[in-house]
């Protein structure tokens, strides 16, 4: 299931009809059955899209990001990578950089399209669609940085002295040992688990 995620660089000039807010952010909107996508063309300045159209799971995962300088993005797709940049305000590295570049003019002004970096270490890592921590990416995460993971039946096999789990209460789903899990098919979060881990050493 897809949601509309507000482009934070754009002040909407037109309120959308036939949408409902997600439970995790008022910047993420579920289009209702009779929503007209033509409304999106009226809602922002000419030339830039005021919303990204993302998978609900990807949008929820992006909402866990902190403001950061450097971010490694894995499996979010091109628009998810742009969303991760917009909400973290960080320069990103992604294997989908070439594909992501093609969409930049649609969402960012020309002077803000230099969003890519190549680094040996990152302040945050965000990974979608995997069930365990990527050990190579964990090694590249700076001490004090956050690793955000979303997938099915997460298995966290790190030494518990090396990280701290950060979570927040959600109105749907239930807590797990290190995060939260959902089974809400009506809103696109069926069989989905998330965690946010801070690297301690």
**If you compute the radius of gyration of the chain from its CA atoms, what whole number of angstroms results?**
17
Residue 40 lies in a domain: no
**What CATH number should be reported for the domain holding residue 84?**
3.40.50.150
Instruction: Using pLDDT thresholds of 50, 70 and 90, give the confidence band for residue 90.
Output: very high
pTM of the model: 0.91
Residue 144 lies in a domain: yes
Task: With a cut of 70, say whether residue 178 has pLDDT above it.
Answer: yes
> Helices 97-107 and 77-88, interaxial angle, to 10°?
60
The Cβ of residue 179 has, within 10 Å, a number of other Cβ atoms equal to: 22
CA atoms within 13 A on the CB side of 162: 13
Task: With a cut of 90, say whether residue 47 has pLDDT above it.
Answer: no
Give the domain extent around 100: 56-199
**132: its two tokens:** 């365990």
For the chain, the domain total comes to 1
Phi, psi angle pair for 45, to nearest 5°: -65, 150
């Amino acid at each position: 299931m897809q949601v509309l995620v507000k482009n934070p660089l754009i002040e909407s000039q037109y309120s959308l009809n036939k949408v409902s807010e997600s439970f995790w952010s008022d910047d993420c909107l579920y289009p209702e059955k009779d929503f007209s996508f033509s409304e999106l063309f009226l809602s922002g300045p000419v030339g830039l899209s005021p919303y990204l159209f993302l998978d609900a799971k990807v949008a929820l995962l992006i909402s866990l990001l902190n403001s950061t300088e450097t971010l490694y993005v894995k499996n979010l797709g091109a628009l998810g990578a742009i969303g991760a940049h917009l909400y973290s305000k960080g320069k990103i590295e992604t294997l989908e950089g070439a594909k992501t570049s093609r969409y930049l003019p649609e969402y960012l002004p020309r002077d803000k399209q230099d969003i890519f970096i190549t680094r040996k270490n990152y302040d945050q890592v965000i990974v979608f669609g995997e069930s365990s921590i990527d050990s190579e990416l964990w090694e590249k995460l700076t001490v004090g940085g956050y690793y955000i993971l979303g997938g099915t039946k997460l298995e966290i096999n790190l030494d518990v002295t090396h990280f701290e789990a950060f979570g927040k209460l959600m109105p749907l789903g239930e807590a797990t040992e290190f995060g939260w899990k959902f089974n809400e098919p009506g809103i696109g979060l069926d069989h989905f688990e998330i965690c946010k881990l801070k690297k301690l050493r």
